[in-house]
């Protein structure tokens, strides 16, 4: 058996501790599958004395994470710190610059600095692996770089944030409010104390940025992503969708339209009996459309210590085996194109619209006139039970229309004196 693969781990949160737990519990199994042992040599984290539920006594402690790259006894650094800059970026830059291989679960760092880091890895002739950065335990990075490599990819899309999917599932099952379920998700450890990245779609956007680069051979460009989260979704929207035969899911969508790439993150209605509609709780699902493979689907847990740590160790096993020749984004950095980004407003779909209006004569006629003026045909209009003393909810399902036209119409509806709350607009996706 070959010499051990010597690693240093920076970041000992739930994922970092999970990686160590796997390496300790499955040491012999991993050695058989990798052809050599994987040995932790050194670790680094903010607090040395914190109880992480794993034995760290056999490993050197390094106070500053970037200093792991100064060591001469490491073959790989594992970056599990998080964040798009700071010590995470400094560690990877230093390690790759020195010719040390790297594994990261940091989707934010790679979405913002992936090209530069990939160039460093290529120059040094070492791998930069990041399976754990997208969809937890689902091997979607390997699938796009290797399994779908023979295909001209047309689209990649799916549920990429387990926290949001858990919240939306629980709201539907219990009828509770977003704020109430979010607090429960925080108490259970699904959501961070500051849940902004999850619930506002930023985490999904970071992941989709990387999937777009892999799928279409373009430079990752986070700034070109249109993002909308789930914080404004109400129990009423969830109920309305269910009555209409749909479920609400936060989707990351990247597809080719008229030769340009359109990528967006937004809550959408999907048929409840569809494959996407059946993905519940903290699970993720990623769909890939290729010209020869048609549609591929991967479903699994997208977050948590176990699935994410499993993906990190899978990368380490690939490195130990010597399977390190695939470029970071599937093609050499110099071959990555500057993408031609399309306008999400050009997307054509059916749409769900929900509005609260005064119960007055002529209001529905005003709304209908606005839809007509924006060339929008209404498939169905639903007015809930009438209460003359209070505003009434109206739900409209449109026929296919351009998103830009629908958005403009909704702005006009919101400006009506009879509209008492900001209307809700969501795409209906049947895929």
- The catalytic residue among 89, 142, 207, 249 is 207
Cβ density class 98-111: b for 16+ within 10 Å, e for less:
bebbbbbbbbbbbb
Q: 425 in helix, strand or coil?
A: strand
> Given the structure tokens 């779909």, which residue do they identify?
349
The set of residues, in sequence order, having a beta carbon less than 8 Å from that of 76 and lying 6+ positions away, is: 5, 6, 7, 8, 100, 101, 102, 103, 316, 319
Q: 378 in helix, strand or coil?
A: strand
Torsion sign (Cα): 139, 100, 317, 304 = negative
The set of residues, in sequence order, having a beta carbon less than 8 Å from that of 252 and lying 6+ positions away, is: 157, 158, 159, 160, 204, 205, 207, 208, 211, 263, 264, 265
Yes or no: say if 7 and 76 are a contact pair by the CB < 8 Å rule: yes
Q: Is 48 considered catalytic here?
A: no
In Å, how far from its chain's centre is CA 270? 18
> Given the structure tokens 């335990």, which residue do they identify?
137
Torsion sign (Cα): 43, 49, 52, 57 = positive
Please list the active-site residues: 207
């Amino acid at each position: 058996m070959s010499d051990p693969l010597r690693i240093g781990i920076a970041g000992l949160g739930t994922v970092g501790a999970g990686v160590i737990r796997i390496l300790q519990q499955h040491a012999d199994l991993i050695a058989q599958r990798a052809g050599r042992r994987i040995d932790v040599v050194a670790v680094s984290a903010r607090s040395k004395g914190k109880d992480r539920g794993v034995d760290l006594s056999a490993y050197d402690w390094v106070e500053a994470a970037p200093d792991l790259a100064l060591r001469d006894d490491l073959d790989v650094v594992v970056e599990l710190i998080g964040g798009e800059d700071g010590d995470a970026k400094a560690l990877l830059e230093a390690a790759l610059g020195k010719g040390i291989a790297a594994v990261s679960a940091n989707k934010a760092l790679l979405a913002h600095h992936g090209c530069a880091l990939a160039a460093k890895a290529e120059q040094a002739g070492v791998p930069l692996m990041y399976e754990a950065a997208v969809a937890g335990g689902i091997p979607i990075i390997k699938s796009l770089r290797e399994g779908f490599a023979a295909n001209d990819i047309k689209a990649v899309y799916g549920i990429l944030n387990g926290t949001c999917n858990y919240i939306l599932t629980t709201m539907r099952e219990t009828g509770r409010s977003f704020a109430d379920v979010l607090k429960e998700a925080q108490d259970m450890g699904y959501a961070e104390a500051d849940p902004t990245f999850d619930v506002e779609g930023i985490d999904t956007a970071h992941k989709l940025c990387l999937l777009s680069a892999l799928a279409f051979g373009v430079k990752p460009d986070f700034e070109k992503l249109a993002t909308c989260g789930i914080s404004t979704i109400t129990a009423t929207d969830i109920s309305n969708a269910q009555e209409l035969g749909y479920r609400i899911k936060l989707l990351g969508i990247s597809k080719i339209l008229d030769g340009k790439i359109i990528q967006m993150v937004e809550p959408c209605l999907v048929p409840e009996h569809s494959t996407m509609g059946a993905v519940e709780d903290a699970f993720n699902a990623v769909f890939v459309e290729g010209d020869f493979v048609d549609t591929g689907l991967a479903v699994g847990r997208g977050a948590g210590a176990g699935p994410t740590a499993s993906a990190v160790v899978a990368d380490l096993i690939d490195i130990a085996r010597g399977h390190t020749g695939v470029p970071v984004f599937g093609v050499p950095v110099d071959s990555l194109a500057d993408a031609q980004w399309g306008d999400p407003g050009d997307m054509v779909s059916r749409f769900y619209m929900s509005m609260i209006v005064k119960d007055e004569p002529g209001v529905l006629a005003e709304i209908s006139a606005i839809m007509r003026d924006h060339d929008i045909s209404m498939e169905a209009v639903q007015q809930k039970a009438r209460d003359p003393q209070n505003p009434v909810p109206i739900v409209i399902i449109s026929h296919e229309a351009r998103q830009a036209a629908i958005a403009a119409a909704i702005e006009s509806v919101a400006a009506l004196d009879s509209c008492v709350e900001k209307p809700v607009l969501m795409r209906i996706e049947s895929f």
